[in-house]
Amino acid sequence: MTTTEQDGRAPLRSVSDSPPDAAALARRVEEFLAEHDPAGTDAADFLRARFAAGLAWVHYPAGLGGLGAENGLQTAVDAAFARAGAPENRPRLNVIGLGMAAPTILRFGDDAQKQRWLPSLWTGEDIWCQLFSEPGAGSDLAGVGTSAVWDGDAWVLNGQKVWTSMAHHARWGIILARTDPEAVKHRGLSYFVVDMTAPGVEVRGLRQITGEAEFNEVFLTDVRVPDDQRLGEVGQGWAVAQYTLMNERVAIGGGTLPRESGAVGALAARWREHPEARTPGLHDRVLRLWVRTEAARLTAERLGQQQAAGQPGPEGSGVKITYAGLNQECSSLELELRGEDGLRYPDYTERRPEVEDYGSRDAGWRYLRFRANSIEGGTTEILRNVVAERVLGLPAEARADKDVPWKDLPR
Amino acid sequence: MSAPATPETGDLLYSDVEDDLRASVRALVEKQAPWDAVLRRTDTDDAVDTDLWKRLTQEIGVAGLAVPEERGGAGASWREVAVVAEELGRAVAPVPFLGTAVATALLLGTAEDELLASVAGGERTAVLVVGATRGAGRPVPVVERQGAGDLLAGTVTAVVDAVTADVLLVPVSATEIAVVEAGADGGGDGVTRTTSESLDMTRRLTDVTFDGAPARIVTGADVDHALQVGAAVLASEQLGLAERCLADTVAYLRDRHQFGRQLASYQALKHRLADLWVAITQARAVARYAARCAADGSPDLPVAAAVAQTHCSEVALLAAEDGLQLHGGIGFTWEHPAHLFLKRARADALVLGSADHHRTVLADLVDLPA
Ligand SMILES: Cc1cc2nc3c(=O)[nH]c(=O)nc-3n(C[C@H](O)[C@H](O)[C@H](O)COP(=O)(O)OP(=O)(O)OC[C@H]3O[C@@H](n4cnc5c(N)ncnc54)[C@H](O)[C@@H]3O)c2cc1C
């Protein structure tokens, strides 16, 4: 028996050893917290140290904020840090950075790019945005027209992006641009990282139906992007973008999703608090939505279990379709329960919204905001196509754009 | 007046053992009861495939899965029972599995070890004698005891899986059950069974009349709990049926061409199938959750069973109805299996309580009062 076994502790493994299991991770977190008191440490310093210790996203490789551990072990690590009152890395504001840019950089970036972008991305010091959609290309993303032309020592970008969430907070943006208009549309694209503070990048707020300006238009005029900010090969941008979009799935969240979380919670609370508004018809509708929400919750739970067990299922698209519909129907019925109250709206003044929990917003605002759930991140119709084609193996849509150079497509 | 607490979710995946069990049941059922054999049987008086039931219980031991080894069973759990139910639902197999599950749940709570062991081993079948549409959460009607005691009189209509049952378990009070020997072919002493044509031809209903039937009174039976377990098992049956309908419909639409195209290439049809698939992923989650609650004795079983029944009833019905519609005229013919699934799905949505019944029960359970 070795000394370490005697005192009940496995030897601390070097990073080249096999990845840590749940118990080893728990111990590392404990040791880390003993050395870095969350209360007494500057938030940014704390987060940088957590990244350096490999306890940021434990399934990432060593040296890049992780320890090569299993994906499913992250939840427990996050929970342990949360319990200790550790500072957050602005997960809501940086949802695109953490959820989409980071996995893409990890998969397609070279070592220098990973070292350059991942640390400040994870700590939340740098917010990221996604410059994909354009006025002429949304669902049909491969149709983007923003051009990137090589000019001796850099790519020069020109074009307009739209619906860009977080652009006004962002330091970096992932962008899909056309490097070869002569090629068939999926083949003429390349993928870059744009410095949002570079000359020629102009961000304008775009007002939405809630009155606020949560997203933006981004105009790119002769923006110079060095070649070391390209991810993937020239002409391979579509494959890289596909990978980004694959990661754009519903955040399953850590641990057990609470019963009655989401839009049904506000609906149920309203029902309980206002017996005078109850009718048999409304009662039936409330119960139906409650059951559907519980079914969606358990489906998300099961998906999370599959992912943790290394059997990623295609259920993600389904979960997104379902939650979009439930948010919309629950918030709509809630307005009905509110009666006259449901007809009032707090404030349509144009402004930048706080990034906050939707649950704390007014019912009217939520009703309006949830309309976007079935549009943003892939429309419900497109996701149905995805399920039909990728899950059920049904034939792809007939298409008119497969063999034609992009420049000759009707627009 | 507050949001309900969140219970532990538990394991919603299938274990390797469950996968193996599924494979054995599927292999046996595909060989012994393909849909055309099931269809042919509906035109005969032999409503139940007793041969298949014998092989299921004796070769695979499906009746004893939830019974501990020391009480004569296989010592598995309601999770495994649910997996078998999926497979039997997929095949609309005419065997008394659902009735056996309910009876077993009931007997597990009593001291009837000899009877329990014989049911677990498949030597005898037992059935809870309540009307098919009775669901958990509301008191079930009881049959009257005559005079001082041990003779029954009364009628219970529309009982599921009573056609071939050897033993009838009859509620006589909130906590008491009368055990009655059913006798062969229709009746024992003072018992008359009349099986009639039923909407679901693969699970026919029986009216049971007692007229001075001798009974043994057993205490400690929790009928409500047995019905909840039954609802959990039924949800898995509905899941299996829905998956079968989707798979058959996808195969058919890929195969059939109209207007010079595969029918499966039309977006209107693709989106319907995609929606159905999404609904089925949810049915699987709620059915698994209900099964795991039954298996672990979770206090959340009443909610889980009601949610599972509400949801799976609607999904199975949608799968069967859309499946029939998307087959066109061929789906409306007797010689096509679509109607077997449609009839089972339509009946299942009423068996052990309708979706509306379960929503009403839920309203109390989760504090969303009328
Ligand atoms: C709140 C919000 C935030 C967003 N944030 C970002 C962001 O940060 N970055 C970014 O790049 N984009 C963002 N978007 C853009 C979003 O991704 C697009 O709006 C979306 O992909 C749809 O594209 P579109 O608006 O061009 O609609 P279109 O593609 O023109 O679609 C119009 C309608 O036609 C349907 N449709 C389209 N194609 C098909 C088809 N093949 N079959 C059936 N139906 C079809 C659609 O479902 C939709 O109903 C955001 C959008 C919203 C609403």
pLDDT, tens digit (0-9, with 9 covering 90-100), for B347-357: 999 999 999 99
Helix (H) or strand (E) segment spanning residue A237:
helix A237-246
- Mutation choice for B interface testing from A259, A288, A322, A374 by most B CBs within 10 A: A259
DSSP three-state, residue A380? helix
pLDDT the model gives residue A7: 40
Q: How far is A31 from chain B (nearest CA, A)?
A: 29
SS3 A235: coil
Cβ contacts from A onto B, under 8 A = 134
Q: Do B8 and A256 touch (CB under 8 A)?
A: yes
* Nearest CA, atom 7, ligand 1: A164
Tokens of A266: 């506000």
Write out chain B residues lying below 8 Å of A271, CB-based.
Answer: 368
Query: In this model, does residue B164 exceed pLDDT 70?
Result: yes
Strand boundaries in A228-334, DSSP class E? 230-231
Residue bearing the CA closest to ligand 1, atom 18: A138
In the three-class reduction of DSSP (H, G, I as helix; E, B as strand; rest coil), residue A200 is classed as coil
Highest mean pLDDT among A315-319, B139-143, B212-216: B212-216
Task: Give the pLDDT confidence score for residue A254 in this predicted structure.
Answer: 45
Residue closest to B132 by CA, chosen among B112, B102, B95: B102
pLDDT of residue B186: 65
The end-to-end CA distance of chain A, in Å, is 74
Distance CA B1, CA A242 (A): 47
Q: Chain B within 8 Å of A125 (Cβ-Cβ)?
A: no
**Above 50 in pLDDT, residue A168?**
yes
Three-state secondary structure call for residue B326: helix
Spatial contact of B93 and B38, defined as CB atoms under 8 Å apart:
yes
Using a CB–CB cutoff of 8 Å, tell me whether B253 touches chain A: yes
| CB-nearest partner of A387 from B277, B283, B285 | B277
Say whether residue A333 is in contact with chain B using an 8 A CB cutoff. Answer: no
- C-alpha B66/C-alpha B61 separation (Å) is 10
Q: How confident is the model over A46-96, as pLDDT tens digits?
A: 999 999 999 999 999 999 999 999 877 888 999 999 999 999 999 889 999
pLDDT in tens, A85-122: 999 999 889 999 999 999 999 999 999 999 999 999 99
Look at residue A257 in the predicted model and tell me its pLDDT.
Answer: 84
Cβ atoms of A158 and A176 closer than 8 Å: no
pLDDT at A361: 87
Q: Ligand 1 centre and the CA of A139: distance in Å?
A: 5
pLDDT surpasses 60 at A12: no
* Domains observed in chain B: 16-125 (1.10.540.10), 128-219 (2.40.110.10), 223-365 (1.20.140.10)
Closest CA to B193 of B181, B204, B179, B209: B209
User: CB under 8 Å to A185, separation ≥6 — which residues?
Assistant: A142, A143, A401, A404, A406, A409
Q: What was the pLDDT predicted at B138? A: 87
pLDDT (average), residues B129-153: 89
Token readout for B211 is 């007229």
Residues B39-85 have pLDDT tens digits of 999 999 999 999 999 999 999 999 999 999 999 999 999 999 999 99
Buried b (16+ CB within 10 A) or exposed e, A283-307: bebbbbbbbbbbbbbbbbbbbbbbb
Please tell me if residue A385 touches chain B, with a CB cutoff of 8 Å.
yes
What region, left, alpha or beta, does residue A311 occupy, with left being phi > 0 and alpha being psi -120 to 50 degrees? beta
* B179 and B167 Cβ atoms separated by less than 8 Å: yes
Which one of A257, A275, A392 has the shortest CB-CB distance to B273? Answer: A392
Ligand 1, residue A96: give the atom nearest the CA.
8
Q: Which of A134, A212, A248, A315 is catalytic?
A: A248
Residue B365 in contact with partner chain A when CB distance is under 8 A: no
Residues of A in contact with B292 (CB under 8 A): none
B282, B50, B110, B204: which is closest to A300 by C-alpha? B282
Residue B185 confidence (pLDDT): 67
The residue nearest atom 27 of ligand 1, judged by CA position, is A138
> How large is the average pLDDT for residues A205-211?
95
Q: Are A179 and A148 in contact (CB under 8 A)?
A: yes
Q: How far is the CA of A372 from the centre of ligand 1 (A)?
A: 9
B366 inside 8 A of chain A by CB:
yes
Say if CB B288 and CB B215 are below 8 A apart. Answer: no
Asked if pLDDT for residue A401 goes beyond 50, the answer is yes
Chain centre to alpha carbon of residue B129: 14
Residues of B in contact with A315 (CB under 8 A): 281
Give the contacts of A179 (CB within 8 A, at least 6 positions apart): A147, A148, A149, A150, A155, A188, A189, A190, A234, A235, A237
Q: A306 and B13: CB-CB below 8 Å? A: yes
Residue B120 has pLDDT above 50, yes or no: yes
**Nearby residues of A20 by Cβ (< 8 Å), 6 or more positions away:** A13, A28, A58, A67, A69
Q: What spacing in Å lies between the alpha carbon of A193 and ligand 1's midpoint?
A: 22
The confidence score (pLDDT) of residue B192 equals: 94
Of A253 and A384, more confident = A384
Query: What's the mean pLDDT when you consider all of chain A?
Result: 90
Q: Tell me the average pLDDT across B170-174.
A: 91
Closest to B2 (Cα-Cα) out of A267, A268, A277? A268
Residues with CB under 6 A from ligand 1: A 129-130, 132-133, 138-140, 163-165, 215, 372, 375-376, 379, 381-382, 385, 397
pLDDT at B203 over 80: yes
Residue B348 near residue B234, CB atoms below 8 Å: yes
Tokens of A380: 């419900």
Domain residue ranges in chain A:
18-88, 242-391
Q: Is the pLDDT of residue A255 over 70?
A: no
Range A345-366 average pLDDT: 86
Give residue B313's identity as a one-letter amino acid code.
S
In whole angstroms, how far apart are CA A218 and each of A121, A160, A258? 21, 6, 38
| Residue A141 predicted with pLDDT over 50 | yes
What pLDDT was estimated at residue A73? 87
Q: What is the DSSP string of A112-157?
A: HHHHHHHHHHHHTSS-EEEE--BTTBSSSGGG---EEEE-SSSEEE
**Burial class of residue B26 in the structure, from the number of CB atoms within 10 Å of its CB (0-12 exposed, 13-18 middle, 19+ buried):** middle
How far, in Å, CA of A243 to CA of A257, rounded? Answer: 27
| Residue B253 C-alpha, separation from nearest chain A C-alpha, in angstroms | 9
Smallest CA–CA distance from A271 into chain B, residue: B368
**Closest CA in chain A for residue B12:** A302
Please name which of B220, B229, B234 lies closest in space to residue B104, comparing C-alpha atoms.
Answer: B229
* Residue A250 pLDDT exceeds 50: no
Interface of A with B in 243-272 (CB under 8 A): 256-260, 265, 268-269, 271-272
pLDDT at A3 over 50: no
Strands (E), A46-97: none
Q: How far apart are the first and last CA of chain B?
A: 13
pLDDT in tens, B182-197: 887 666 789 999 998 9
Q: Quick check: B3 contacting A, CB < 8 Å? A: yes
Q: Which fold has domain A242-391?
A: Butyryl-CoA Dehydrogenase, subunit A; domain 3 (1.20.140)
Contacts of B44 (CB under 8 A, 6+ apart): none
pLDDT in tens, A322-345: 999 999 999 999 999 999 999 999
B307:A294 CB<8 A: yes
Query: How many angstroms separate the alpha carbon of residue A375 from the centre of ligand 1?
Result: 5
Interval between CA A379 and ligand 1 midpoint (Å): 6
CA distance A159 to A137: 12
Residues of B in contact with A293 (CB under 8 A): none
Q: Which of A292, A321, A392, A397 to mutate to test the interface with B (most CBs of B within 10 A)?
A: A392
pLDDT tens digit sequence for B260-277: 999 999 999 999 999 999
For B22, how many CA atoms within 13 A lie in the half-sphere containing its CB? 16
| Nearest by CB: A385 against B2, B270, B283 | B270
Q: Can you tell me the mean pLDDT for A207-232?
A: 96
In angstroms, rounded to a whole number, what is the distance separating the alpha carbons of residues A183 and A404? 8
Half-sphere exposure of residue A120: CA atoms within 13 angstroms, side-chain side: 11
Judge whether A248 counts as a catalytic residue: yes
Q: Is B263 on the interface with A (CB under 8 A)?
A: no
